């Protein structure tokens, strides 16, 4: 057996040195595709440019509010910032472009950090509302709140509605109102109404402005029933309008049917529910009118004080009509100031002129949560007492009867995609911008400019 000897040189000569120069099927296809794909892409981009279709450059769908100018990327992605043209292919939206259409007042004048518009309102995510900002955008400041100077007025460590959120500020103090009201008594089983005993419900007194204008009070007298609904040309465009908060309690609407302000048995008409000066003038005028129509009343004996069982009544006869009026006015006003009005109001006699006291302002709170948004309309399926749990037992005017944060957290406790949970994001109740500072933003675009339907001579395409 002959043994062959192979060297590396001899083995190397067996390989085809022109192998990599030959074009096989795979190589031909790869080369063709490397030329065709970029060429097709360029032709496609060129065609969209000619047709003015900028949608192809979008990284995702716009929000519903901005979707109509999806084909006008340059409206937001502008290369001119503060009048200076910026270099670069990718132009990020600036606050300047947002404020061209939207007036967005600052949160607080002493805030230590002001985020960019696009950092909270993120586009190209297909979100229906840009106002649905992430909790992280809010807690980035409010988890460790700092301001430029002084001390913050609000809680400095809030990480979420269910995480270190303080109790509502209104519940940390007492009701500043001065009108006495016993909720427990009014919600009892033996309330005396104008036509007998009634059982009041929360909705009999507390109603939204729309509900109040559209209905009457079932326990009221005919002459003091609520005004009927005003004539309209259609339904309200926003179903929440006029239904967010309860209307202010008015004596003429909610109280007058049961609490009559009658001041003398001679008159069926009660005194007006207004300032004490007007009430005094009304009472004087009524008695003057009465004595002019009944002059014989001057000779009738007048009891000088109210009858007390077991005591003799002191009687007096007026000297003339003016004296009779003066005696009757003082007697009627003593009843009004010391009993009728005092039952609900706080009167100040220290600066009384001609015996007429001043009434302290009612100071009824119209909005208990001034820094948050709330509407009763989405909560109409709930029983009033289900949230206002203390109303049925409250006997003091100073009691604040709005629901506590635990009541809200029992429903708003997480991701709405989970069964038995409702969304609890910050944006549901709070807004960043201080809309009270709005001054108005003039528009600058035409419809063709926004939609992109422009041709030469500035005319919209047909």
pTM, two decimals, is 0.74
- The DSSP code sequence of 317-352 is --SSHHHHHHHHHHHHHHHIIIIITTTTS-EEEEEE
Runs of H (alpha helix) within 115-174: 117-120, 135-142
d(CA 183, CA 10): 111
- SS3 call for 160: strand
Residue 456 has a pLDDT of 39
d(CA 121, CA 137): 10
Residue with tokens 């496609």: 44
DSSP H or E run through 192? strand 191-193
Residue 341 has a pLDDT of 93
Work out the angle at residue 125's Cα, subtended by the Cα atoms of residues 119 and 129, and round it to the nearest 5 degrees: 80
Q: What is the mean pLDDT of each run of 10 residues along the chain (462 residues)?
A: 66 70 82 91 80 76 85 82 68 86 88 90 85 91 90 90 91 93 90 84 88 73 46 60 86 86 92 94 95 91 65 74 92 92 91 83 91 90 93 94 93 75 89 87 84 53 42
Residue 209 has a pLDDT of 86
Domain extents in the chain: 59-128+436-462
d(CA 177, CA 410): 29
Judge residue 101's burial from the number of C-beta atoms within 10 Å of its C-beta, 0-12 exposed, 13-18 middle, 19 or more buried: middle
> End-to-end CA distance of the chain, in Å?
94
Residue 106 has a pLDDT of 85
Task: Answer for the pair 136, 71: CB distance below 8 angstroms, yes or no.
Answer: no
Residue 222 has a pLDDT of 44
Other Cβ atoms less than 10 A from the Cβ of 20: the count is 7
Q: Helix axis angle, 276-293 relative to 321-335, nearest 10°?
A: 140
Residue 305 has a pLDDT of 60
Cβ contacts of 279 within 8 Å, gap of 6 or more: 271, 272, 336
DSSP H or E run through 84? strand 84-85
Task: Answer for the pair 431, 133: CB distance below 8 angstroms, yes or no.
Answer: no
């Amino acid at each position: 057996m002959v043994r062959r000897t192979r060297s590396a040189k001899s083995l190397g000569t067996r390989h085809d040195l022109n192998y990599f120069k030959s074009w096989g099927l795979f190589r031909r296809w790869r080369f063709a595709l490397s030329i065709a794909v970029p060429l097709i892409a360029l032709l496609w981009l060129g065609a969209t440019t000619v047709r003015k279709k900028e949608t192809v450059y979008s990284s995702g769908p716009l929000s519903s509010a901005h979707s109509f100018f999806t084909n006008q990327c340059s409206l937001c992605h502008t290369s001119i910032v503060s009048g200076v043209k910026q270099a670069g292919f990718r132009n990020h939206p600036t606050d300047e472009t947002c404020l061209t259409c939207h007036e967005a007042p600052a949160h607080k004048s002493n805030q230590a950090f002001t985020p960019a518009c696009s950092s909270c309102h993120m586009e190209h995510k297909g979100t229906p509302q840009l106002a649905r900002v992430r909790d992280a955008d809010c807690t980035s400041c409010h988890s460790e709140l700092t301001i430029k100077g002084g001390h913050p007025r609000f809680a400095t460590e809030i990480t979420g509605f269910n995480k270190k959120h303080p109790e509502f500020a209104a519940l940390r103090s007492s009701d500043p109102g001065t009108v006495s009201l016993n909720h427990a008594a009014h919600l009892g089983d033996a309330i005396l109404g104008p036509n007998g005993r009634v059982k009041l419900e929360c909705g009999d007194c507390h109603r939204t402005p729309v509900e109040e204008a559209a209905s009457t009070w079932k326990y009221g007298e005919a002459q003091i029933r609520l005004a009927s609904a005003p004539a309209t040309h259609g339904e309200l465009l926003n179903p929440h309008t006029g239904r967010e908060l309860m209307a202010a309690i008015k004596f003429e609407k909610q109280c007058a049917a049961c609490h009559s302000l009658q001041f003398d048995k001679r008159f069926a008409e009660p005194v007006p529910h207004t300032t004490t000066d007007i009430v005094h003038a009304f009472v004087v005028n009524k008695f003057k009118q009465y004595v002019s129509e009944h002059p014989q009343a001057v000779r009738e004996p007048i009891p000088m004080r109210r009858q007390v069982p077991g005591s003799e009544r002191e009687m007096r006869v007026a000297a003339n009509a003016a004296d009779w009026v003066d005696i009757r006015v003082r007697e009627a006003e003593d009843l009004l100031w010391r009993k009728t009005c005092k039952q609900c109001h706080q009167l100040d006699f220290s600066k009384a002129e001609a015996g007429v006291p001043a009434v302290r302002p009612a100071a009824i709170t119209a909005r208990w949560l001034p820094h948050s948004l709330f509407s009763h309309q989405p909560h109409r399926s709930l029983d009033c007492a289900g949230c206002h749990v203390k109303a049925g037992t409250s006997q003091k005017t100073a009691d604040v009867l709005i629901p506590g944060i635990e009541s809200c957290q029992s429903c708003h406790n997480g991701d709405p995609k989970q069964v038995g949970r409702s969304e609890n994001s910050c944006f549901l109740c709070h807004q960043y911008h201080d809309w009270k500072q709005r001054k108005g933003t003039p528009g600058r675009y035409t419809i063709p400019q926004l939609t992109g339907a422009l041709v030469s001579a500035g005319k919209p395409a047909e």
